[in-house]
Structure 1
Amino acid sequence: MAHTPYFLLLFIALCSISECVQRQYHFINEKMEWTEAQRYCREKYTDLATVNNMSDMNQLMKSVNDVRLWIGLQRKWQWSSGDPALFLNWGYNQPDGKNLCAFMRNGEWYDGKCSDSCIFVCYNMSRGLVYVNQMMNWKSAQSYCRQNHIDLVSVRNQNDNQQLEKFINDRNSSGSAVWIGLFRDTWQWSDQSNSSFRNWLTGEPNNNEGNENCTGLKENTQGHWADISCHYQFSFACHEDKLIVIQQNLSWSEALRYCRQHHVDLVSVQSVEMQRRVMNVVKLASTEAVWLGLHNYCSMNMWLWVSGDMVCYQNWAPGNGSTPENCKLENRKGAVQSGGDQTWISLPESHRLNFICTNY
């Protein structure tokens, strides 16, 4: 019993010196438009720079000069229903970046002024497509559909688009513009990661030119952001993620061996920040759970990371995280669920799963 306080103090000390792992940034001193910079970063590194918090922001500022430069935040198109716009059917030279709402004409999509008045199509659960032969601006059309049906119509794929085109043409022979439920408003990171962190300069974003849909760091503002037209040419920052999902089904020991041979190690999750990064990449997995570098040290009745670190930050699912009575027989290891809340679960190491390697 005399050793217990010392052990607890040692545990607290080891946890307190665990550092947050930073994303690696690269400053590219070449001037490109936003989409060109995005393509460059995806070819050479991971993507245009994503910034999840002030720690990332400070790390980025160490890597870049105090000039105007692109980062990976852009206004995204999405459906009024909240669904992501995975299928797009833009007309020639569309969208041109000047407007935030979309209409259909002859089966193709165009961005239009949300304040313009057009006829529109709603979606109803029982009736399907509903043609509304009334002239309204986009926002009023959205409200009408939500009050009387479900929402403005969404288009998921080419088949949906062809059916909608025929539906409209049967009722609208003039070829006039018809509002659909597509609009551009929400800001989204280029790598699709989920982060609500923003570092806007006071008064930004203001969409001053009516087409400021990309984000850059403004010079001489200590790294604050502004919305800017995507067609300007600036230097830019890329980021390089150090987590890799391996889509092979291996036992925990095989996964550990693979990571140490081809990368550095199985991933250790020592902070909320690292858990967030794991959650961003685990969506690429093909198994319901994915191995972490987490193993049960039976003789000490505790979980440890393969890096040798203690488990300070914890994200166990209910009923997991304790040492089972048959620990030595099962050799329990830790995995993260690839769906749901993406919490940790313990499984026998013989299970064959995808896994996450780290290059940190």
Structure 2
Amino acid sequence: MLKVTIHPHINRLLPLIIWLRVTKAMDDVCLIPLPNSYYITEVRLSWSKARSRCRSFYTDLAILSGIWENSNAQRLLTPDVPAWIGLSRNTWSWTNLNPSRFRNWLREETSDPGHDCALINPSALYRWEEENCSTTLPFLCYSDDDQTTAGTL
């Protein structure tokens, strides 16, 4: 009798492989899922519109509250294309209203008027930068629900 063992890493990748095969035929789907429930879209929106879109399909803009989350988000990003994350300023807090304790800024925070939203920048070693919230960029979403279904952002 032949016994086949599948490596645990392959088991974790199977949903991604199946998702990619299913969506290959769907031109309007533009999300790439990761096991930790981060998603990226190439659609370019302002920070507030990106947040609304993430909330419609998932939970919110990505919260990168530690080095592990920041590293996982890096795998989704296209080189040289920054993306919105769920960090904005009054006192730099995440969209879930938690303060930003993990810091990954390219430069010390400045007080540039209108630069009240944060992006992650692959060209700057995946550091965060301040940007005008009306700038249109791709964006990272997250979901804390394993049952999320793929959809068009």
**What residue number does 1:309 align with?**
98
In structure 2, C-alpha distance between the alignment counterparts of 1:335 and 1:278, rounded to whole Å: 12
Structure 1 residue 45 displacement after superposition = 6.9
Q: Is structure 2 residue 59 aligned with structure 1 residue 264?
A: yes
TM-score by length of 1: 0.32
Deviation at 1:275, TM superposition (A): 1.2
Q: Per the alignment, do residues 259 and 276 of structure 1 end up closer, same or farther by CA in structure 2, a change over 3 Å counting? A: same
Contact 2:119 2:128 in 1 (8 A): yes
Q: Which amino acid aligns with 1:307?
A: N
Match of 1:253 among 36, 42, 48: 48
Count, aligned residues? 128
- Cα RMSD (Å): 2.8
| Distance in structure 2 (CA, Å) of the matches to 1:252 and 1:353 | 8
Matches within 5 A, 1:110-129: none
Distance 1:342 1:321 in 2: 16
Query: 1:293 is matched by which residue type in structure 2?
Result: G
Higher RCO (CA-CA < 8 Å; seq separation 6+): 2
> Mapping of 1:72-87 within 5 angstroms?
none
For residue 278 of structure 1, what is the aligned residue in structure 2? 73
TM-superposed deviation, 1:345: 0.4
Percent of aligned pairs sharing the same letter: 16
The 5 Å alignment of 1:216-231 reads none
- The answer to whether the 8 Å contact 1:247/1:286 transfers is no
User: Unpaired segments of 5 or more residues in structure 2?
Assistant: 21-33, 145-153
> Residues of 1 paired with 2:55 and 2:79: CA distance?
22
2:140 aligned partner, one-letter code: I
Give 1:321's aligned residue.
Answer: 109
Instruction: Indicate conservation of the 8 Å contact 2:43/2:138, yes or no.
Output: yes
Q: Which sections of structure 1, spanning at least 5 residues, go unmatched?
A: 1-29, 47-238
Match of 1:356 in 2: 140
Q: TM-score, with normalisation over the residues of structure 2?
A: 0.71
How far apart in 2 are the matches of 1:39 and 1:309?
31
Q: Which residue of 2 aligns with 1:295?
A: 88
CA distance in 1, matches of 2:105, 2:119: 10
The residue type paired with residue 82 of structure 2 is A
Displacement of 1:315 in angstroms is 0.4
* Structure-1 residue corresponding to 2:150: none
For 1:259 and 1:341, the matched residues in 2 are separated by 25
Name the structure 1 match of 2:25: none
CA–CA separation in structure 2 for the residues paired with 1:241 and 1:38: 11
Counterpart CA distance in 2 for 1:338 and 1:264 is 24
Question: As a proportion of its length, which structure holds more strand?
Answer: 1
Distance, in Å, in 2 between the alignment partners of 1:348 and 1:312 is 22
Larger of the two Rg values belongs to structure: 1
